[in-house]
Amino acid sequence: MTAVPPAGVDPLTAIVPAADLVRLLREAGRTVATAESLTAGLLAATIAGVPGASTVLRGGLIVYATDLKHTLAGVSEHTLASDGPVAASTAEQLAVGARTACGADWGLGLTGVAGPDPQDGQPVGTVFVGLAGPEGTEVLRLKLSGDRWTIRMEAVHAAVGELVRSLGRPAPGNQPGAV
């Protein structure tokens, strides 16, 4: 059983480094937005649980249904038809769609299978995290295990952690020894 956080502490932020993310975004003067399928808003809710998040969280799109991935987040119909709703290309386009639709510096896109059954040929625990930022996009493929809650929370943890890592990297050309 998970320990209960002290009174006044959001239980989601107690298990995800969301406070670090908000701090780094504030220090960089940057914003973030989400487009979420399997997490259905859990990522945005986790970020919003940090005091001061309103200065960095622009908003989010809940695109649980496949057609909404296209109509709200801008995932191409071709990608959805050829690769499916649970794919690296879909996660990448979700991240770009979140960034674009919400006017944010960074976009996070999450799609995957939390279970109990496989979806579109993808096994339970398959998760793709898309990250779109000023320097381009990247996608992580995760193979998670556990129940639905565990898979969804681990997906949120991975998305937050990846953006924290990206914010901590020096910009190209600003690295030691760069000319």
Cβ contact 95:109 at 8 Å? yes
Evaluate whether residue 143 is within a structural domain: yes
- 5 pLDDT higher than 80: no
Evaluate whether residue 32 is within a structural domain: yes
Q: Which domain holds residue 141?
A: 20-167
Residues 142 and 129: their CA atoms lie apart, in Å, by 8
Give the tens place of pLDDT for each residue, 29-71: 999 999 999 999 999 999 999 999 999 999 999 999 999 999 9
DSSP 52-68: TGGGTEEEEEE--SHHH
Question: How large is the average pLDDT for residues 7-12?
Answer: 75
Q: What was the pLDDT predicted at 2?
A: 54
- 170 pLDDT higher than 80: no
Least confident of 66-75, 124-133, 148-157, 164-173: 164-173
Evaluate whether residue 130 is within a structural domain: yes
- 82 pLDDT higher than 90: yes
Evaluate whether residue 177 is within a structural domain: no
Evaluate whether residue 172 is within a structural domain: no
Q: How far is CA 18 from CA 52, 66, 78, 101, 142, in A?
A: 11, 28, 34, 22, 19
Evaluate whether residue 179 is within a structural domain: no
Evaluate whether residue 155 is within a structural domain: yes
Percent share of the chain, pLDDT over 90: 84
Instruction: Find where tokens 């681990």 sit.
Output: 154
Instruction: Find where tokens 């000023």 sit.
Output: 134
Tally of domains within the chain = 1
CATH number at residue 143: 3.90.950.20
For residues 9 and 61, the model is more confident at 61
Question: How large is the average pLDDT for residues 1-27?
Answer: 81
pLDDT range class, residue 127, cuts 50, 70, 90: very high
Evaluate whether residue 7 is within a structural domain: no
